[in-house]
Amino acid sequence: MSNDVLILAEHLKGKVSDISFEMTGKGRQLAVAFGGKAVAVMLGSGAAALAATLGADSVLYVDDPALAEFNPQAYGRVLAALINDRAPRLVMVGNTSMGMDLAAGLSVTAGLPLMAYVNGLAAEGGALAATSQIYGGKIQAEAVPDGEACVVSCLAGAFPADAGRVGAGLVPALEQIASPVPLADLQIKFVRMIEPQSGDVDITQQPILVSIGRGIGGQENIELAQELAEALGTAVSASRPVTDAGWLPKTRQVGKSGLTVKPKIYLAFGISGAPEHLEGMRGAETIIAVNTDPKAPIFDVAHYGATCDMLDLLPALTEKIKA
């Protein structure tokens, strides 16, 4: 077994996903502790340029026409072969749509333990400890692998991405290889990509939501929220009184008689936090509430709160985001 950390980098539509940088940064840190190297692995077809953006100790780029698009079977085979070949100490995979297809299967085929939903990784005296966020984010579990080697699947946003980008004097050695295993006889065939339908925005699909309640005061102020949402590249959602009043379409209503949303960040501005509203947004990863009333029940479910006037805050925040 080596002391290397193998990191599976993801890319989609010609863009390296942030999770890749996040894991690369963390992986390098861990590799130092293990006394090994952080090896980022990217699979693709003619994507060497993408691979070159990864700030690992070395980057292994596997090029094969069958790897042009993500294919769980092809990816699984190549990774299994690489793990077999290099016997890394740690394999890092994203707990993402792609990574979730791979990690658990690799754990079985490679006979390595897997710790999933990881949002914390530490090497204490050379031994790895992984913290998993489970039970819908209600519980953290810190675990250690029974053997030395293991696979972890990491949650997006758990580690800073900047630490994993090329720069700051680090120019990784890029090695391009052909697939170590045949990929001609796959049972899974990629057919096509389907773009999300444009139409009114689907607030359930946004990673961040600017949500407003009656604190917005009137239709004339909706614009303030729209501007912030635009700057964030997302949409405005609302409590029922706002959609009732027709200030926003019904499709933007969050709550019991509206939609249930689970964004990464839910900005609740001028929303009191009635049970019917909470029902629709409780599952958000981080809730930030702004309400002039310090006793508003929304603060009981929010992670962060402030009691300033939302009408002052909205333009201030828009400015900060645009800057």
Partner 1 sequence: MLTSFEKLIFILMVAVFGGLTAWGFYQIYRIIRRGRPAARFTHVIPQTVKALLEVGLQKPMYKSRPILTTFHALIFFGFSYYILVNVNDLLEGFLPGYSTAEVSAGIIGLLNLLGDVLSIGVLVGVAAFLVRRFIAKDKRLEYNKDVLLLPGVAQGGIKRDSLIVGLFILCHVGSRFTGQALRLAEMGATNPAQPFAGALSLLLRALPPSAFAPAIHASWWIAIGLIVVFLPYFIISKHVHIMAAPLNLALAKQAERGRLDPATSPTNGQGQALPLPGAATLADLAWPRLMDAYACIMCNRCQDVCPAHNSMRPLSPSALEINKRYWLNANFNAFAGGASSPPLTEWAISPEAVWACTTCYACVRVCPVGNEPMADIIDLRRRLVNDGAELDSGVQSTLEKIGKTGNSFGQAARNRAKWAASLDFKIKDVRKEPAEFLWFVGDYASFDARVQEITRTVARVLKSAGVDFGILYEAEKNSGNDVRRVGEEGLFEQLAEQNVAAMSKCTFERVITTDPHTLNALKNEYPDYGGKWETIHYTRLLAQLIDAGKLQLQHKLSHYRVTFHDPCYLGRYNNGFNPPRALIRAAGCEFVEMPRNKENSYCCGAGGGQIWMGSTPVGERPAENRIREALAALDPSADGAGGNAKRLLFVVSCPKDVVMYSDAVKTTGNEGKIEVRDIIQLIAEAMGEGRLLTSNHKPQNAIPA
Partner 2 sequence: MNIVVPIKQIPNLTDELEINGDGTGLDHDALQYVLNEFDEHAIEEAVLAKEAAGGTVTVIGVDTTGELDGALHTALAKGADKAARITGDFPRGTDSHTQAKLLANAIRSLSPDLVLTGVQAADDRDGQIGPMIAAHLGLPYVGVVTGVAVKDGKAIVHKEYAGGLMGEFEVSLPMVVGVQAAHQPPRYAPVSKVRQIAKTAKIDEIAGDEAAGAGSTVRRMFKPEAAGHAEMWEGGPEEVAEKIAALIKEKGLLKG
Angstrom distances, CA of residue 268 to CA of 147, 230, 301:
45, 16, 11
Rounded CA separation 38/86 (Å): 12
Kindly determine how many residues on this chain lie close enough to bind ligand FAD according to the rule CB under 6 A. Answer: 27
Query: What residue has token string 């925005």?
Result: 201
From partner 1, partner 2, ligand FAD, none, which one binds at residue 277 (CB under 5 to 8 Å depending on kind)?
ligand FAD
Note whether 304 and 288 are within 8 A (CB).
yes
Rounded CA separation 288/117 (Å): 23
Q: Specify the DSSP class assigned to residue 237.
A: E
CB of 209 to partner 1, least distance (A): 19
Q: Segment 79-108, which members bind partner 2 (CB under 8 A)?
A: 96-98, 100-108
Q: Is 284 in the site for ligand FAD (CB under 6 A)?
A: no
Given candidates 257, 292, 304, 308, which one binds partner 1 under the rule CB under 8 A?
257
Given candidates 291, 299, 317, 318, which one binds ligand FAD under the rule CB under 6 A?
291
Residues 296, 298, 301, 302, Cα dihedral to 10°: -110
Rounded CA separation 144/218 (Å): 54
CB of 101 to partner 2, least distance (A): 5
Which range touches partner 2 (CB under 8 A), out of 32-40, 84-92, 149-157, 238-246?
149-157
Comparison of 148 and 309: residue with beta carbon closer to ligand FAD: 309
Q: Sign of the C-alpha dihedral, residues 254, 260, 266, 272?
A: positive
Q: Is 293 in the site for ligand FAD (CB under 6 A)?
A: yes
The 247-276 site mask, x for binding ligand FAD (CB under 6 A), equals: ------xxxxxx-----------xxx-x-x
How many C-beta atoms lie closer than 10 Å to residue 235's C-beta? 22
Comparison of 76 and 213: residue with beta carbon closer to partner 1: 213
Q: Segment 107-136, which members bind partner 2 (CB under 8 A)?
A: 107-109, 112-117, 129-130, 132-136
Q: Is 165 in the site for ligand FAD (CB under 6 A)?
A: no
Say if strands 11-12 and 15-16 run parallel, antiparallel, or are unpaired. Answer: antiparallel
Q: Which two tokens stand for residue 182?
A: 């045949």
Note whether 156 and 65 are within 8 A (CB).
no
Q: Is 192 in the site for partner 2 (CB under 8 A)?
A: yes
From partner 2, partner 1, ligand FAD, none, which one binds at residue 205 (CB under 5 to 8 Å depending on kind)?
partner 2
Given candidates 48, 52, 163, 321, which one binds partner 2 under the rule CB under 8 A?
321
Among the listed residues 144, 262, 268, the one whose alpha carbon sits nearest the alpha carbon of residue 211: 268
Comparison of 87 and 274: residue with beta carbon closer to ligand FAD: 274
Q: Sign of the C-alpha dihedral, residues 34, 37, 43, 47?
A: positive
Kindly determine how many residues on this chain lie close enough to bind partner 1 according to the rule CB under 8 A. Answer: 11
Rounded CA separation 185/249 (Å): 50
Using CB under 6 A as the criterion, which residues of the chain lie in contact with ligand FAD when the complex forms? 213-215, 239-241, 253-258, 270-272, 274, 276-277, 280, 290-293, 296, 309-311
Using CB under 8 A as the criterion, which residues of the chain lie in contact with partner 1 when the complex forms? 214, 240-241, 244, 256-258, 274-275, 295, 297
